[in-house]
Structure 1
Amino acid sequence: MKKLHPVSLLLLIFSLAGLAWLPIVKPASSRTLSASVAEKPVPETKNNEAVFNALYDSLDLDDKGLSEEAFRYAVRGYEHMLEDHRIEKPGYLTICDFSRSSNSKRLFLIDMSEGKLVKYTYVAHGRNSGAEFASNFSNRPESLQSSLGFYITGETYIGQHGLSLRVNGIEKGINDNAYQRAIVVHGANYIGEKWGGSYMGRSFGCPAVPAAESAQLINTIKNGSVLFIYHPTASYLKGSKILNG
């Protein structure tokens, strides 16, 4: 029998499931978390586990370094926001996994409707969030730190970094100062393959991406798609109303 392409297999499972494939996450309060960083946060799924696993596996996300727990949290929030009609441009989900080294590719742009990995590249964190690894996050203006959580992308503009994309933080007290702080997606020459083993240059808090890839990424996700910045910080995982709503 002819072997099914992974995406075809995924679509077949979707058809058989006949249900939304939302992985249900138990409230963070029911899991044991350390004071600052959650220990192995693995949200549990109750419905359509096979569908979730099929998508995760078909995109080779484990081999590419995106942890299963980071993907589960991202999908959980994405589905919650869909249910609340907060997404103007459904389909695209961008995940920045700040639990990984800045030397690693840790931005994943996924087309959820087609089951495709559209972009896999580097992304910077704020200079005051850490050196190679990010560990400190803030919503405070002029902190020069990254903010965790879910964002909705906005309009583009031409600024000092060329084509740039505004993002709107939608988690009160966590990232809702992003627009005021001028946190945007933009291209930068201080991040990318050429930096080799030394940790990447860091931004003023923006999720900056390699300059050569920025225009394509920005034009794909602009005007209403979901951006999620992840790190297993216990205060965020417990405090996010989107993850625990």
Structure 2
Amino acid sequence: MTFPASFSGLPVMLLALLGTGGLLAGCQSAGGEVAVARQSAAVAVAAPAPAVALVPAAHSLAPTPLAPTSLAPLPDVSPELRAAVAELRGRLGPEAAALRPEVLERACVGYLNLRQAGRISRPGMLAIADMDLPSSEPRLWVLDLRAGQVLHRSPVAHGRGSGEGVQARRFSNTIKSACTALGFYRTQDTYRGKHGLSRRLRGLDAGHNDNALRRYVVLHSADYVSTAYMERHGKAGNSRGCPALPPDQYRAIISAVGEGGCLYLSGPGLESKWLDAAGAAQRLAAQGWR
């Protein structure tokens, strides 16, 4: 997906009003309906949304996105496991060039441990969202580890409680926080709700994302992740905690991850018991990426 470098023709103030008055509908509430957060025009004028690419590049008002948090390599990763992840990265090709190696390594280690523990059941399927990258970028990858292929790459929204700017800076497992919750998830069954086809998510990291089912955190479509919205506002809109997907890609992504797959939402400060390099190396040696 590519985004135009500039827009022109409307006054900046009007564009700011449109940017903050857009869709902020998020995830399913306990009653299965969408909870909608609305801002008044007065609030929009006082605190306009970041105007990324809304004016010609030479006069852009957009803040420079913050650099993603530096992640140190996992400790005690065997040379064999590190080489296997590096080889996988090479096979994934240019579509995975923006997938940070340290994020891929963590995701693979977690996948292997979750497979060994029987917590996920879809062999070779791994979806990774680097929520430390700006929402203006396609920061979700769906990988087939066995084939070494990127099946899908798309933008993905973060919760408005995590920050209504282009980058997420707060993460929470708390009910009604409207935040994105980091960690490993098992993809669950599908259903049809307010957003149409949706897939439930079960959080597998206690204290980090294990309220996902109670919070109705699901994969679903959202107009505020559409190409038109992102071209207009320079970023994705915000959910109420769901990793919401573009309307033209959500069906294919929901189908690809299937039931029993692994989704990893990466971000700063995440500690997970599934990031056990020794256990992952044993699983890889015995079963490969299956």
Q: Which TM-score band (shorter chain)?
A: 0.7 to 0.9
Which of 175, 183, 187 is the aligned partner of 1:153? Answer: 187
Higher percent of residues as strand: 1
| Secondary structure of 1:93's aligned partner | strand
Give the corresponding residue for 1:55.
Answer: 88
Which of 140, 158, 166 is the aligned partner of 1:107? Answer: 140
Give the corresponding residue for 2:106.
Answer: 73
Contact 1:155 1:166 (8 Å CA) reproduced: yes
Q: How many Å apart are 1:199 and its aligned residue?
A: 2.0
Contact 2:115 2:121 (8 Å CA) reproduced: no
| Paired amino acid for 2:91 | S
Give the corresponding residue for 1:21.
Answer: none
Give the corresponding residue for 1:189.
Answer: 223
Query: Structure 2 length normalisation: TM-score?
Result: 0.67
Q: Relative to structure 1, is the Cα distance of residues 176 and 63 closer, same or farther in structure 2, using a 3 angstrom cutoff? A: closer
Contact 2:126 2:262 (8 Å CA) reproduced: yes
Deviations 1:175-198 (A, max 9, x none): 010000000000111113321262
Q: Return the alpha-carbon distance in structure 1 between the equivalents of residues 142 and 254 of structure 2.
A: 11
Q: How does 1:194-209 map to 2 (within 5 A)?
A: 194=228, 195-196=230-231, 198-209=234-245
Give the corresponding residue for 1:42.
Answer: 73
Which of 142, 155, 176 is the aligned partner of 1:142? Answer: 176
Give the corresponding residue for 1:116.
Answer: 149
Q: How many Å apart are 1:83 and its aligned residue?
A: 1.4
**What are the ranges of 5 or more consecutive residues in structure 1 without an aligned counterpart?**
1-36
Q: Return the alpha-carbon distance in structure 2 between the equivalents of residues 187 and 99 of structure 1.
A: 21
Give the corresponding residue for 2:265.
Answer: 229
**What are the ranges of 5 or more consecutive residues in structure 2 without an aligned counterpart?**
1-67, 280-290
Q: How many Å apart are 1:61 and its aligned residue?
A: 6.0
Give the corresponding residue for 2:247.
Answer: 211
* Identity within the alignment, %: 35
Q: How many Å apart are 1:53 and its aligned residue?
A: 1.1
| Paired amino acid for 1:242 | W
Query: Structure 1 length normalisation: TM-score?
Result: 0.79
Contact 1:41 1:232 (8 Å CA) reproduced: no
Q: Return the alpha-carbon distance in structure 1 between the equivalents of residues 131 and 93 of structure 2.
A: 19
Deviations 1:34-61 (A, max 9, x none): xxx9644222532323322121122136
Q: Relative to structure 1, is the Cα distance of residues 161 and 232 closer, same or farther in structure 2, using a 3 angstrom cutoff? A: same
Contact 2:155 2:236 (8 Å CA) reproduced: no
Q: How many Å apart are 1:63 and its aligned residue?
A: 5.9
Contact 2:69 2:132 (8 Å CA) reproduced: no
Contact 2:173 2:208 (8 Å CA) reproduced: yes
Give the corresponding residue for 1:163.
Answer: 197
| Secondary structure of 2:249's aligned partner | helix
| Secondary structure of 2:263's aligned partner | strand
Q: Return the alpha-carbon distance in structure 2 between the equivalents of residues 51 and 154 of structure 1.
A: 28
Calculate the aligned-residue CA RMSD, in Å.
1.8
Note if 1:64 corresponds to 2:97: yes
Q: How many Å apart are 1:101 and its aligned residue?
A: 0.5
Contact 1:56 1:62 (8 Å CA) reproduced: no
Give the corresponding residue for 1:14.
Answer: none
